């Protein structure tokens, strides 16, 4: 099956082998917060393309929901980790704020956000391209 390099080499942990490269000031904080259960309800990742914003958000989504986290990193093997990697987790929603249906998606989000998670510990919404969209609209 065809797999893009971008997907194949997307980092799977905050640190260590296969981890995020070159963003230690960010990943070390996220890893610490996951390991010590000190998470905030929302995170804003800012930076140029290709610096790991979406990757960090996905690792964070897994680390929050992982059944067997290792020092704040997701294990990569439990139901939460594998279903999030496969894009099949019912409680993790990825959306592109710059797409045409962004408003409808946010409306759905507002309706369903009050429900408890269906299968995982926490609901996670990864909203891509938020800042780009704000700049375009202003």
Which positions lie near Zn ion, rule CB under 5 A? 66, 74-75, 78, 81
The least CB distance from residue 2 to Zn ion, in Å, is 26
Minimum CB distance to Zn ion smaller for 92 or for 95: 92
Q: Which residues of 30-49 are buried (b: 16+ CB within 10 A; e: fewer)?
A: bbebbeeeeeeeeeebeeee
User: 60 phi and psi, to 5 degrees?
Assistant: -65, -45
The least CB distance from residue 69 to Zn ion, in Å, is 7
Minimum CB distance to Zn ion smaller for 35 or for 78: 78
Minimum CB distance to Zn ion smaller for 13 or for 95: 13
Q: Helix (H, G, I), strand (E, B), or coil: what is residue 124?
A: strand
The least CB distance from residue 66 to Zn ion, in Å, is 3
């Amino acid at each position: 099956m065809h797999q893009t390099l971008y997907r194949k080499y997307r980092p799977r942990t905050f640190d260590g082998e296969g981890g995020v490269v070159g963003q230690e000031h960010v990943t070390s904080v996220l890893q610490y917060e996951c390991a010590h259960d000190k998470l905030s309800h929302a995170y804003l990742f800012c930076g140029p393309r290709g610096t790991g914003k979406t990757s960090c958000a996905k690792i964070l989504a897994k680390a929050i929901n992982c059944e067997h986290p290792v020092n704040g990193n997701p294990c990569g093997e439990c139901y939460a980790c594998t279903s999030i990697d496969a894009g099949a987790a019912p409680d993790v929603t990825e959306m592109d704020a710059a797409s045409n249906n962004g408003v409808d998606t946010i409306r759905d989000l507002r309706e369903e956000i009050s429900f408890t998670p269906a299968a995982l510990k926490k609901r996670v919404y990864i909203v891509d391209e938020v800042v780009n969209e704000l700049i375009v609209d202003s």
